[in-house]
Amino acid sequence: MPSTLDPYCIDRRNFLQAATATGAAALLTPAAAATAGTFTGKIKKAVKYHMITERLSVSDKLKLVKDVGFDGVEPRTADAVKHRDALLKASQATGVKVHGVVNSSNPDIKTAIDAAKALDATSVLLVVPVNAKGSYLKNYAERQELIRKAVPHAEKQGIRLLIENVWASFLNEPLSMARFVDELDSPMVGVYFDVGNNIRWGYAEHWVEVLGKRIGKLDIKEYSRELQANQGLRAGFNVLLGEGSVDWERVRAELAAIDYQGWATAEVKGGDRKRLQDIATRMDNVLDL
């Protein structure tokens, strides 16, 4: 019998491909087809809402990101609640999708789920933090229980709970993350895979291979092992997309192997229109859009 950690043995998660698909079968003109990349029509690119630093109205912020090539935004829970009506109106007017809500380690998952539902989003990003002074096993069980209690409400609202791999020194290798998710035993729970966050310890392509269709969405950032070695751990993030240690070709190959279709959201230092345009262009390059 296949292992539950087999990325191709998903059982209750078989429907996820349809749930996360974003129009891969959209028709392309002959000219567009000639220039289409591997993931054109399969991956939609977004930016974290807080990365838009120009002093603009909510509506103008969404117009800006649309102008520079993004398909969506992802606000933090506080912004999603505070600007709910304005975000929804701007999204409907511009076509820029509010595709998810970032709740991180906030234990109030219900509020994030409801905010996502109100914005016609599809997911809430969660983080499982470490308790450095406490028990590893207790923290593991308590965080699972916190998420498990939120699952019925997520199912009712149709919002996926996606756990991000972060620098918490917890669930920082793919088999542990896969086990944590599988033990929750719900198709509404998956992984928000951050391509750059694992490079300190390993290789992004290995994570994609192991996690397979557990991956619901992607965070896109870069990391340089050279800067890490010479300037310190955090300095590793001070590198532009496509110029660090992520082997994007192999990452794309593994994403293609699991037929990934869905959202990829930049999670890097934000800025003005020029900065966001550069991020969008670099995402096109590293993801072959």
Q: What pLDDT is stored for residue 29 in this prediction?
A: 53
Domain count, the chain: 1
- Sequence-distant (≥ 6) Cβ neighbours of residue 269 within 8 angstroms: 51, 275
pLDDT tens digits, one per residue of 78-130 = 999 999 999 999 999 999 999 999 999 999 999 999 999 999 999 999 999 99
Residue 18 has pLDDT above 50, yes or no: no
**Radius of gyration for the chain, computed over Cα atoms and rounded to the nearest angstrom:** 18
Q: In this structure, how many other beta carbons lie within 10 angstroms of the beta carbon of residue 177?
A: 23
26-39: pLDDT as tens digits: 444 555 555 689 99
CATH number for 194: 3.20.20.150
How do beta strands 160-164 and 72-74 pair?
unpaired
- 25 belongs to a structural domain: no
In a domain, 26, yes or no: no
Q: Are 271 and 62 in contact (CB under 8 A)?
A: no
Specify the length of the chain in residues: 289
Q: pLDDT at position 5, please?
A: 54
- Give the model confidence (pLDDT) of 231-244 as tens digits: 999 999 999 999 99
What was the pLDDT predicted at 36? 81
Would you state the pLDDT for residue 1?
40
Query: What is the model's pLDDT at position 8?
Result: 39
Establish if 78 belongs to a structural domain: yes
CA distance 104 to 281: 27
159 has a pLDDT exceeding 90:
yes
Cβ neighbours of residue 260 under 8 Å, at least 6 residues apart?
A: 39, 42, 43, 208, 215, 218
Torsion 131-270-78-120 (CA) sign: negative
Q: Does the residue 262 lie in any domain?
A: yes
Query: pTM for the complete prediction?
Result: 0.89
Average pLDDT over residues 253-265: 98
The crossing angle, in degrees rounded to 10, of helices 58-67 and 273-287 is 40
Instruction: Tell whether 22 is covered by a domain.
Output: no
Which of 165, 169, 266, 242 has the alpha carbon at shortest distance from 211?
A: 165
How far is 289 from 281, CA to CA, in rounded Å?
Answer: 9
Q: Which pLDDT score is estimated for 278?
A: 98
In a domain, 275, yes or no: yes
- Whole domain around residue 109: which residue ranges? 11-17+40-284
Give residue 285's pLDDT band: very low, low, confident or very high (50, 70, 90).
very high
22-81 pLDDT per residue, tens? 444 444 455 555 568 999 999 999 999 999 999 999 999 999 999 999 999 999 999 999
- Closest CA relative to residue 203, chosen from 193, 214, 216: 193
Residue 76 pairs with which residues in a beta bridge? 102
- Tell me if 33 is assigned to some domain: no
pLDDT of 43 reads: 98
In a domain, 138, yes or no: yes
